[in-house]
Chains A and B, each alone.
Chain A
Amino acid sequence: MAAPMLPPGAPPLPVSTLPPAPECVELATRIESAWKGKVKSVRAMNPLNPGIQAEKNVFVAFESETGAMPAFWKWLRDKEKFDHCSVVVAIDHMDRIEVKHLLFSYTTHITVETSAMCDRMDPEMPSASLAWRGANWLEREQFDLMGVKFIDHPDLRRVLLPDDWIGHPLRKDYEFRQAGEWW
């Protein structure tokens, strides 16, 4: 299970009693020791239910201080051998936009999920496409649909919508008539 997003006043969430895998715990301690102060929190996640799918997750939260992220990604790729950026998700909580990058290692099968918060009016965060080419189009897609600008991205333009589209549809306040065109 990924990091729980709790809106204020929500009831508590189900907690898993299974311990995290030892590799995850070791990785979490290594991250913590190497990136102390630059990372808000590191957690090796408890697998929720192996009956549904086996998983090994480590959650790394950067909150709003995203300056260390490029270096962190490069460190993950080179030192920890995380060779694949699986997916980039941008979520529109009404007051901020959260961007998650999921990184995967083909040797240890561990998934590291880095999470960053961006300001909703002008969301910006560093790009992982310098470390992994696979993140290139994934970040373009989130820019297209959510409006998150990725700094230092080599080719940030719309990928799914036409180039002259106005607006970012996956935002919660997007209206069809806002773009000025509908089909």
Chain B
Amino acid sequence: MAEMWINIGPQHPSTHGLWDLRIKVNGEVIIDSDPQVGYLHRSVEKICERKEFIMAMPMTERLCYVANMNWTHLYVHGVEKLMNCEIPDRAKWIRVMVCEWNRVASHLFWLGAYVHDIGNLTMFLWPIREREYVLDLLEYITGARMMYNYPRIGGQVKDVDDKFLRRSKVVADMILERTVEYERMLDDSDLWGMRTKGVGVIDRQMAKNAGLTGPSLRASGVDYDTRKALPYWAYNEVDFEVPVYDEGDCFARYRVRLEEIRESCKIVKQCADRMPEGEFLGKAPRVAPKTSAWVRHEDPRGESMCWIMGTGGKNAYRTKFRSPAFVNISALPLMLLGYKIPDVPGIMGSIDVCIGEVDR
């Protein structure tokens, strides 16, 4: 068969978002690739220039809607850095706790969608079911299942109470048990291994150079996690490990995320035990100075950054979000070369794309 360009998308059940992965195939083997994004571009950065900080925050929620606690807190953190405003201790620990819960929810959702793409229908629903418990918890404190709108400049809008902390520990224990069940179903399974081991390999040097970050980078052997390297909030006070694998294939990325679910559950339990008393919302200035500030976060998908430049008023002059999935998609062609068409959903799913943050 001759060479031809095939569009996987933009309407496709397994792209998990609205984007178009164009691949050039020779028979069944992929020889080139050209992802096209931008179908969900909502010009959030331009909107942030015209709205006050607090009004722009619901926009940032819609950036990555699966891990939206991380993105709203990223934005608010950036604004706080711009205003040089520190937040109370309790707010720091609450932020760590909810961001880790959202990481767990995001990784569980990724796992469900990923095994569904590979074909295992039952394993799709089990992580989704676990995620429902996490969403129930976050609904309890914020009032919404997905668009939480939780942080404010200076802290959080509502407090967490003891019931939430107790329930968090119960749910974290339950999820820790169930990850063992997922491992048993998937790790030793030959069929799973045939689809994911040795597929979509990217080596260390190329991963670093291509800007790949997050679990995909750690699966290629680079031991880097923003929460450990440049800690923020209470991350230097909680005890957790960073899983690193060397192979760089889809199986390694799956293992990194599974173990990250475990580590996040451990962090949540520590936060629930050590939550300090005090205020949850501190004082914040009304206006931001005309300087600029960067913050870096460890998003479930990689390293996200927010750069804000103030105008001296209540809104920003320029806001820039660095989306990890955007750069991960640009590294995707390197992972696809030489593999076959049926491997595409596997490789595409293993880098965990969320188009809201890619397109902004």
Q: Check A-B contact in the complex, CB < 8 A.
A: yes
Closest residue of chain A to B326 (Cβ to Cβ) is A137
In the complex, the chain A residue whose C-beta lies closest to that of B296 is A53
The answer to whether A6 touches B290, judged by C-beta atoms less than 8 angstroms apart, is yes
B280-310, CB < 8 A from A: 289-296, 303, 305, 307, 309
Q: Is the CB of A7 within 8 A of B290?
A: yes
Partner of A54, one of B45, B224, B230, B322: B230
Q: Are B289 and A169 in contact (CB under 8 A)?
A: no
Given contacts A86-B303, A169-B46, contact A5 B309 (CB under 8 A): yes
Complex interface: stretch among A29-37, A66-74, A118-126, A157-165: A157-165
Pick from A5, A53, A141: contact of B77, CB under 8 Å: A53
The reply on B37 being an interface residue by CB < 8 A is yes
User: Cα distance A79–B221 when bound, in Å?
Assistant: 21
Interface residue tally for chain B (C-beta within 8 Å):
48
Q: Report how many residues on chain A are interfacial, defined by Cβ distance under 8 Å.
A: 44
Contact check: which of B80, B211, B293, B295 meets A133 at CB < 8 Å?
Answer: B211
Q: Cβ of B84 < 8 Å from any Cβ of A?
A: yes
Tell whether, in the assembled complex, residue B289 and residue A13 are in contact, meaning their CB atoms are under 8 Å apart.
Answer: yes
Let me know if B146 is at the binding interface, CB within 8 A: no
Tell me which residues from 84 to 118 in chain A have a Cβ below 8 Å from any Cβ of chain B.
84-87, 89, 91-92, 102, 106, 109, 111
- Judged by a CB distance under 8 angstroms, whether B231 is at the interface is yes
CB nearest neighbor in B for A57: B294
Q: Are B232 and A49 in contact (CB under 8 A)?
A: no
Verify B232–A169 contact, CB threshold 8 A: no
User: Quick check: is B320 within 8 A (CB to CB) of the other chain?
Assistant: yes
Cβ contact of A53, chosen from B213, B230, B317, cutoff 8 A? B230
Let me know if A151 is at the binding interface, CB within 8 A: no
Q: A109-B230, A137-B327 are in contact. Are A161 and B84 (CB under 8 A)?
A: no
Roughly how many angstroms separate A52 CA and B232 CA in the complex, as a whole number? Answer: 6
- Complex partner residue of B209 from A51, A83, A89, A160, CB under 8 angstroms: A83
Complex Cα distance, B309 from A89, in Å, reads 11
Interface string of A159-183 (1 = CB under 8 A from B): 1111000000110000000000000
Q: Is residue A138 within 8 Å, beta carbon to beta carbon, of the partner chain?
A: yes
Main secondary structure on A side of the interface with B:
loop
Q: Considering the chains assembled together, what is the distance between the CA atoms of A174 and B318 in angstroms? A: 14
Name the distance in Å between A46's Cβ and chain B's nearest Cβ: 12
Distance of B130 from chain A, by nearest CB (Å): 31
Residue A18, interface by CB 8 Å? no
Distance in Å: Cβ of A51 to nearest Cβ of chain B: 5
Q: Which residues of B contact A159 (CB under 8 A)?
A: 37-38
Q: Once the chains bind, are B84 and A14 in contact (CB under 8 Å)?
A: yes
Is the CB of B210 closer than 8 A to any CB of chain A? Answer: yes
Q: Which residues of B contact A (CB under 8 A)?
A: 37-38, 41, 43, 45-46, 77, 80-81, 84, 86, 206, 208-213, 222, 224, 229-232, 289-296, 303, 305, 307, 309, 312, 317-318, 320, 322, 326-327, 329-331, 359-360
3 closest Cβ contacts across the A-B interface? A134-B211, A137-B330, A160-B38
A-B contacts, 20 listed (Cβ < 8 Å): A1-B81, A1-B292, A2-B294, A5-B290, A14-B84, A52-B295, A54-B232, A84-B211, A87-B307, A92-B318, A106-B224, A109-B229, A133-B210, A133-B330, A134-B211, A134-B330, A137-B327, A138-B211, A160-B41, A161-B41
